[in-house]
Amino acid sequence: MKNAALLRSQGLRAKKSFGQNFLEDRAALERIAALCDVGPGHRHVVEIGAGLGALTAALAERGAHVFAMERDRDLAPLLRARFSGRDDVEILEANALVMDLRVLADKHGPLTVCGNLPYHLTSPLVFRALDQLDAWRRLVVMVQREVADRMVAGPGSRTYGLLSVMLQARLRVQKALDVPPGAFHPPPKVHSAVVVMTPRADPPVGAELPQYRALARAAFAGRRKTLRNGLKALLGDPAALLERAGVDGGVRAETLDVKTFARLARCAAELGLASSAPPPGEPDDDDA
């Protein structure tokens, strides 16, 4: 039964307040399930926003043990009925923004996390997962295509910015699949894309992560400012930091790669600068 018919049969409709656009294209569902890379030793998948269970079923068909997370109290009973009697699907009526993935990871090992994310919650959900990096091995998420472009962008690109720098410091990020509006019910007004993220084996940022976050936020606060002027709001006079790191203060932030930001952060830590960073969360520049 198609999503629209299933909702009507239950007297329900997609909720705009929850950002509900249910993926129903079979080829896209199977491709996303394949990207989750389910196999021996890594069967356990946490699905954020299971909705009507289409991706849940595709994952289970590939041998996954799915923790299907859904916060909509109208949809959770439908999921329970659909997967009743199965031991490879567990329905979690929970909010992913407060879910502690480590509880499951402690029992089952590093998880795969996937989902068709509500677009207005993309950054909070991704950064919530990033805060629990030790709990998962792979993150496969559907996001707005423009946001996906920002996630994977490199230095000098028009779409490169704070979101790119914050994610790529600790993750390998790949755009794997474009998905048109017609693949959903109801169709969104934007195009979508699937992004695959995996923890970097060689992250350039370590203990100096607070400095990294603070410097990146300051540097990208004004995209047309030079790096020197961008850092003034945070440091007052950034001359000592720029000299120690060997970075030209006359360039713009969007020309600097992640390794250069990491070098700035290490030097800031050595100098005792920018040590009180805001907590991780949604980027506050135009890349959010």
Element (H, E) at 178: strand 171-179
Same domain, 176 and 100: yes
Write out pLDDT tens, residues 124-137.
Answer: 999 999 999 999 99
Which range of residues forms the domain containing residue 227? 209-271
Give the pair of three-digit tokens for residue 9.
Answer: 């049969």
pLDDT of amino acid 277: 47
Q: What is the pTM of this model?
A: 0.91
Alpha carbon 218 to its chain centroid, in Å, reads 22
Asked whether residue 156 falls in the same domain as residue 234, the answer is no
Residue 190: how many CB atoms within 10 A of its CB?
13
Q: How many residues does the chain have?
A: 288
What's the mean pLDDT in 205-210? 94
- What are the angstrom distances between the C-alpha of 205 and each of 152, 248, 263? 18, 20, 9
Position 4 scores a pLDDT of 64
Same domain, 246 and 217: yes
In a domain, 288, yes or no: no
15/135 same-domain check: yes
**Domain harbouring 86, CATH code:** 3.40.50.150
241 in the same domain as 126 = no
pLDDT in tens, 83-102: 999 999 999 999 999 999 99
Contact (Cβ atoms closer than 8 angstroms) between residue 152 and residue 85: no
User: Is residue 288 over pLDDT 50?
Assistant: no
**Residue of 201, 227, 221, 210 whose CA lies nearest to 262:** 210
Q: CA–CA separation, 129 vs 156, rounded Å?
A: 27
Final residue of a structural domain among 158, 179, 199: 199
Q: Is residue 60 part of a domain?
A: yes
**172 within domain boundaries:** yes
Here the CATH number for the domain that contains residue 239 is 1.10.8.100
Q: Are 149 and 27 part of one and the same domain?
A: yes
Query: Is residue 115 helix, strand or coil?
Result: strand
Decide if 282 is inside a domain.
Answer: no
Q: Is residue 285 part of a domain?
A: no
Cα–Cα distance between 269 and 241 in angstroms, integer?
Answer: 10
pLDDT single digits (tens) 156-168: 999 999 999 999 9
Count of structural domains within the chain:
2
Domain identity same for 62 and 129: yes
Residues 6+ apart with CB under 8 A from 127: 166, 280, 281, 282
Tell me, yes or no, whether 182 lies in a domain: yes
Residue 287 lies in a domain: no
Asked if 104 and 135 count as a contact pair (C-beta separation under 8 A), the reply is: yes
- Residue that is written with structure tokens 């496969």 in the block: 140
Is 26 in the same domain as 157?
Answer: yes
Q: Which pLDDT value is given to residue 275? A: 64
Same-domain check for residues 65 and 181: yes
pLDDT in tens, 42-62: 999 999 999 999 999 999 999
Q: Is residue 171 included in any domain, yes or no?
A: yes
Q: Are residues 115 and 232 in the same domain?
A: no
Q: Are residues 107 and 246 in the same domain?
A: no
Statement to judge: residues 67 and 114 lie in one domain: yes
